[in-house]
Every structure is written in structure tokens, then in C-alpha cells.
Amino acid sequence: MATTLISNADIATTESDARIRLVGLGRKEIAQHLTDFGIEPKKVRMRTKQIFHWIYNYGVTDWAQMTNIAKGLRAKLEPHFSLARPEIIERQISVDGTRKYLIRMSPGVEVESVFIPDVSKTGALCVSSQVGCTLTCKFCHTGTQKLVRNLTAQEIVLQVIAARDDLGEWPTTQEKRKLTNIVFMGMGEPLYNTQQVGDSLDIICDPEGLGIGRRRITVSTSGVVPEIGPMGARTSAMLAISLHAANDELREQIMPINRKYPLKELMQACRDYPGLSNSRRITFEYVMLKGVNDSPKHAKQLINLLKGIPAKVNLIPFNPWPGSDYECSDWETIESFADIVNRAGYASPIRTPRGRDILAACGQLKSESEKRRASEIRAEQKQQQS
């Protein structure tokens, strides 16, 4: 059997919970809520620190576990503030260990995140920054789903919390955690939601909380040029560029955003990226599309384009999805492409497709939310008929 489907019967849901959910919020917001609640001003800072640590270091889901807060106070806080998680509607595990989560943040707002364990001790959680996407890159499944909305910082953080729950990785301080890296490579364009992405990183990277180092965060963009520099300055995250073509004509065809921000401007923004150095390279993602962008000529164009930029190239075999127009390049073609790029001095690993069997690989995200919606609609219709 390729896929294991696990029910979420044991996972708390909050659909009917009218309390304010503190999980996923930053220190400032928690402090504000405590102030509004009436906590003495001079104690707000201390209480915030305690609660923040319980939530993000210990992953507590119950006020009773916050043992350094007096019982009486906990009893007052509990009816107002919830520690519950969003509902995981579906959790699938691929034969290769990749886990895909479909999480319902609120009615109609469903996001996918994917945990990809590495062969080494690390593992990356691929998070979504939007539901759907406004950009319509031709090879991407998410690009066929209209934008539902931007996710909030809280909803981005909740994706990390849900994965840590599922992997049993509390407290943060335990050794051998597998979720070590975060990549913004799920649904949506993070640089069309920079404020919330930046705020979410302040929480995710807080050393007293989830404690993921900023160099272990990668933000991937299709090339929203004006946001690249400010995002780097604000977050100190690593940058990945979805390049996929090294000349404007071809890139325009497969990535319409290139019309607005052509390669010259994009590459300049890369050169200016804050903190760029040989130990902090930009990753250029390049999806291998058969007969489209995979010839030796294209590889040489790529090398020319990258000249002078501390870069590595991730070659991504195209992941097919229902209705897609492209095919993945042949293996030999990918290898010769990688060779050319490699000989020019750029690391150019070929990314092993992960979680293809559960449509969790790059560019395949979308279908589950839509399928779910369709099945829900059918169920509703049935109910109405009976």
C-alpha cells in the first residue's frame, strides 16, 4: 500500500470554541490580550514570558500544565483563552516518510503543509503562506487554484505547531528533533504576504520558543522583486528563487510574473540580497520540463545568468499533476544538465521527488483541499435531499 491514511479522531478541534486562541500568537499579542483581560500592568511581561514558554517550548495544550502560574489565575484564564490546535482534516504518510497535513484554519480556509524527513538528522517542514496563489505559473498545480486569502502569522505558526504535535517533538529543548528547518515552499507566494511571513518568523525563530535558527529558514519566491531585499533585511532568512528559465522569453511563457519583473531586475535584487556570501548562497530552483527548458543551451544560459552570485541550483524533476501540460525531462537529460552547471562551479543537486504518491511534492499541492471541498459539498447535498 502506498499511502497510509490516519484518522484525526484524537486531535482536538476548536470549531465551536469562542475563546481567543493564544497558540500561534507572538509575545506582543499575548501581552495585549493579558492586558485587556486585566492582568496587573507590572505583571504582564512576566506572565507573557511564562505562557510563551509553555506554549512554544513545552507545547502544552492544557492550562493545568502551566505549573508556575497559580491555580486561581489559571482558572480565570482558561475560560477566555484557548490552547487548542486547528483541526487536521487529513494526514497522509508517503512510502518515503513524507507527511502531508491538510489543516482547516477556519471554515473554507484549508492549508497544506508537508514534512520531509531527510536521510540525515534533519527534516524540513514546507509551509504555506497563502491559500491558493494569484500567480499562474504554468507547471504548478497551486497556480490553478484561485487565491482564497493570505494566511495570518498565527496560521503559519500553527502549521509548525501541528507538525511538532504529530511528530511528538516537545519540548523544543529535547535532542534529536527531526523538524529542524522551515521552507516557505507550500501553497502561495510568500512575498505577496511579507508582513505575516515576517511576523511568523519572529515567533518560529524565538530561542525561548520553537527555537528554529534563521539560517534554517528558506523563503522561496517566484520573483516579487521589490519585496526581496526588505524581506531579507526583516527576516535574515535564506532566499530561494524559483527561476525555471534563464531567458526572458521562455520565463515569460511559463511564469507570467516575469513580464512584470524581468530577469535583469530579479538578478539585481539577488545580488543585493542582505547577508549574501559564499556561506549564505541563494538557491535557484529549476524545474526540469521535457523539451522546454532542459537543453545544454539552456544550461549555459543559466550559468551566464548566475555569474558573480553565490548560488546553488536545485534541479527539480517536474512533478506531474492531473491535467498538467508538461512532462518531466528524461533522467539522462537532467544529469547532463546538472553536469554542465556543476562544471561551471555551482552545486546542482537533483532533488529527489518526495511524497509524489500522496501529491505532496513540489507544485502538487492543491488537490486535496479541493477534493475535500467537493466531497463536503456532495455530503451536504445528500443531507439536504434526505
Least distance from C-beta 35 to ligand SF4, angstroms? Answer: 38
Closest by CA to 201, choosing from 185, 215, 186, 221, is 215
Q: Which does 192 bind (CB under 5 to 8 A by kind): ligand SF4, ligand SAH, none?
A: none
Beta strand 149-150 pairing with 181-184: unpaired
Which residue, among 38, 137, 135, has the nearest Cα to 81 in the 3D structure?
38
3-state class (DSSP) for residue 109: strand
Nearer to ligand SF4, 59 or 363 (CB): 363
| Residue 328 among the catalytic residues | no
Q: Which are the contacts of 356, defined by CB distance < 8 A and separation ≥ 6? A: 94, 319, 364
364 is a contact residue toward ligand SF4 (CB under 6 A): no
Using alpha carbons, select from 25, 198, 10, 6 the residue that is nearest to residue 102.
Answer: 6
* 220 near ligand SAH, judged by CB under 6 A: yes
In whole angstroms, the minimum distance from the beta carbon of 147 to ligand SAH comes to: 12
CB atoms within 10 A of CB 259: 10
Shortest distance, CB of residue 204 to ligand SAH, whole angstroms? 17
Q: Using the rule CB under 6 A, which residue among 57, 181, 221, 258 binds ligand SAH? A: 221
Among 154, 222, 258, 283, binds ligand SAH (CB under 6 A): 222
Query: Which span sits near ligand SF4 by CB under 6 A: 69-77, 118-126, 139-147, 152-160?
Result: 139-147
Please say if 140 is a catalytic residue: no
Contact residue for ligand SF4 among 110, 112, 169, 189 (CB under 6 A)? 189
Instruction: Give dist(CA 336, CA 339) in Å, integer.
Output: 5
Which of the choices ligand SF4, ligand SAH, none does residue 282 contact, using the CB cut-off of 5 to 8 A by kind? none
Q: Which of 86, 143, 320, 353 binds ligand SF4 (CB under 6 A)?
A: 143
**In the complex, least distance from residue 319 CB atom to ligand SAH, rounded to whole angstroms:** 4
CA distance 236 to 90: 33
Contact 123, 135 (CB under 8 A): no
Task: Show the cell assigned to 241.
Answer: 528563487
Cα–Cα–Cα angle for 267, 221, 342, nearest 5°?
60
Smallest gap from Cβ 145 to ligand SF4, in A, equals 9
By beta-carbon proximity to ligand SF4, the closer residue of 26 and 188 is 188
Using CA of residue 239, residue 243, residue 244, residue 246, what is the dihedral sign?
Answer: negative
Of the two residues 52 and 318, which places its CB atom closer to ligand SF4 in the complex? 318
Question: Should residue 133 be labelled a site residue for ligand SF4 when binding is judged by CB under 6 A?
Answer: yes
Asked if 154 is part of the footprint of ligand SAH (rule: CB under 6 A), the reply reads no
Q: Which is nearer to ligand SF4, 203 or 313 (CB)?
A: 313
Beta-bridged to residue 219, according to DSSP, are 184, 239
Binding residue for ligand SAH, selected from 112, 166, 169, 189, defined by CB under 6 A = 189
Residue 337: which residues within 8 A CB-CB, separation 6 or more?
288, 294, 296, 298, 299, 315, 329, 348
> Which run of H or E residues covers position 234?
helix 225-235
Q: x/- contact string, 231-270, with ligand SAH (CB under 6 A)?
A: -----------x----------------------------
- In terms of C-beta density within 10 A (0-12 exposed, 13-18 middle, 19 or more buried), how is residue 188 classed? buried
Residue 185 binds ligand SAH (CB under 6 A): yes
Q: List the interface residues with ligand SAH, window 126-145 (CB under 6 A).
A: 137, 139-140
The one among 30, 135, 263, 266 contacting ligand SF4 by CB under 6 A: 135
Residue 288: strand pairing partners: 317
Instruction: Measure CA 277 to chain center.
Output: 24
Among 112, 155, 227, 368, the one annotated catalytic: 112
Interaction site with ligand SAH (CB under 6 A): 137, 139-140, 185, 189, 220-222, 242, 285, 287, 316, 318-319, 362-363
In the complex, which residues of this chain contact ligand SF4 (CB under 6 A)? Answer: 133, 135, 137, 140, 142-143, 188-189, 222, 242
Catalytic residues: 112, 362
